[in-house]
Amino acid sequence: MRMQRRHFLTSTLGAAIAGVAPLARANTFPARPITFICPWPAGGTSDMTMRALAGAAAQVLGQTVVVENKSGASGMLGLKALASAAPDGYTVGQIPISVARFAQLGSVQLDPMKDLTYLARTSGQTFGIAVRVDSPHQTLKDFVAAAKAAPGRVTYGSAGIGGATHVGMEEFAAAAGIELNHIPYKGGAPALQDLLGGQIDALADSSSWAPHVKAGKLRLLATWGAQRTREFPDAPTLRDAGFDVVVDAPNGVGAPKGLDPAVEQKLRAAFRTAAASPEFAAACAKIDAPLMYLDGPDYAQYVAGVYRKETQLIDKLKLRQLMNKG
């Protein structure tokens, strides 16, 4: 009886300690600065909005959120670093929605449904095709005509092979019946600099081109959303121009799989508040990016839906062949 009683007391004490441990972690988290991995170069549109989001989240969490840029492989290098980090809540970061495509293409060894914790979808992106103001392409029609006259000669830059801008541009090219020469970069910022410097004919990117269009240095030929943008209402959508193509790649925030549920709740609450903050709204407004908040579980369901759609797109655009060709 004495041994049974001792075993019962030990088991009860163990269960009590196990129950208190998560609460203790939640009460003390965060006890030190948090790293936010941005998988794009500093200075790009995603970097700009994610820094504003991280700053707003830091105010809620009471700790500094340090943005660390890990660019390359169309955002997958940074995402792989995020997924490989310790699941303690001290490493979070942006999740490029293109992981739903890259995971299926085998270019990143990561299962988006099993290896990540989804905290919040935050905002959309305004994609578009921009050229220099001295370009002979005054309209999208001119651009298409030039590409048809010289197949494979007209160049465009994107943020990387297989990313949203590359795939979106190839989807447009297929709809237009043209062949373009794709020049991949490690992000939109270096591609923009080469467009401004005259090294490429066009840029396919989220709205890194926006301030330069407003300054009269670049011309916006078309945007890729379902509707014209608020900031650039004169620029047609691809659909307006006669091509049934819509591209949207919302930004979101996640963490490695295996977070303590109480820590996950704290992070979700912090990014919920940050996504609704004036600072984040102002950063998004600068690049005409729509706010598109979803809480973690709804965001995970959204990614699962995108994953299913990407399966069809991979076959339709023969993306495996494109990836191999570069």
Structure tokens at 12: 């009860």
How do residues 146-167 score in pLDDT, each as one tens digit? Answer: 999 999 999 999 988 888 899 8
Note the pLDDT tens digit of each residue in 26-48. Answer: 679 999 999 999 999 898 888 99
Say whether pLDDT at 321 is over 90.
no
Residues 296 and 240 in one domain: no
Would you state the structure tokens that stand for residue 322, as one six-digit string? 């494109």
Beta bridge partners of 223: 128, 237
Percent of residues, the chain, with pLDDT higher than 70: 91
> In the listed set 212, 247, 282, which residue is the last one of a domain according to the structure?
247
Q: Are residues 107 and 136 in the same domain?
A: no
Residue range(s) defining the domain that contains residue 164? 127-247
**Confidence band of 85 (pLDDT split at 50, 70, 90):** very high
In a domain, 114, yes or no: yes
15 confidence band (pLDDT: 50, 70, 90): low
Identify whether residues 102 and 158 lie together within a single domain. no
Do residue 118 and residue 221 come from a single domain? no
- 133 with 233, same domain? yes
Tell me how far apart the alpha carbons of residues 78 and 160 are, in angstroms, rounded to a whole number. Answer: 13
Average pLDDT, the chain: 90
The beta-strand segments (E) located in the chain are: 34-38, 65-69, 91-94, 116-123, 127-132, 155-158, 181-184, 202-206, 218-223, 251-256, 291-295
Say which residue, 164 or 172, is predicted with more confidence.
172
Q: pTM of the predicted model, to two decimals? A: 0.77
